[in-house]
Chain A
Amino acid sequence: GDSVTQTEGLVTLTKGLPVMLNCTYQTTYSPFLFWYVQHLNEAPKLLLKSSTDNKRTEHQGFYATLHKSSSSFHLQKSSVQLSDSALYFCALSDPANSGTYQRFGTGTKLQVVP
Chain B
Amino acid sequence: DAGVTQTPRHEVAEKGQTIILKCEPVSGHNDLFWYRQTKIQGLELLSYFRSKSLMEDGGAFKDRFKAEMLNSSFSTLKIQPTEPKDSAVYLCASSLTGGNTEVFFGKGTRLTVV
Contacts and interface: CB of A to CB of B under 8 A. Distances in A.
B107 A43 contact: yes
Interface in A60-114: 89, 91, 93-102, 104-107
A112 B103 CA distance: 26
B107 A41 contact: yes
Size bracket of the B interface: 20 to 34
Given A41-B107, A89-B43, A100 B99 contact: yes
A35 B107 CA distance: 17
A55 interface: no
A45 interface: yes
Given A49-B102, A106-B42, A107-B42, A98 B107 contact: no
Contacts of A102: 103
Contacts of B107: 41-43
Interface residues of A, number: 28
B3 interface: yes
A2 to B, nearest CB: 11
Contact of B48 (A36, A43, A49, A101): A101
A51 interface: yes
B83 to A, nearest CB: 22
Interface of B: 3-4, 31, 33, 41-43, 45, 48, 55-56, 91, 95, 97-100, 102-108
17 contacts: A32-B99, A36-B103, A38-B105, A43-B91, A43-B105, A43-B106, A43-B107, A43-B108, A45-B105, A49-B102, A89-B42, A93-B99, A101-B45, A101-B48, A101-B56, A106-B42, A107-B42
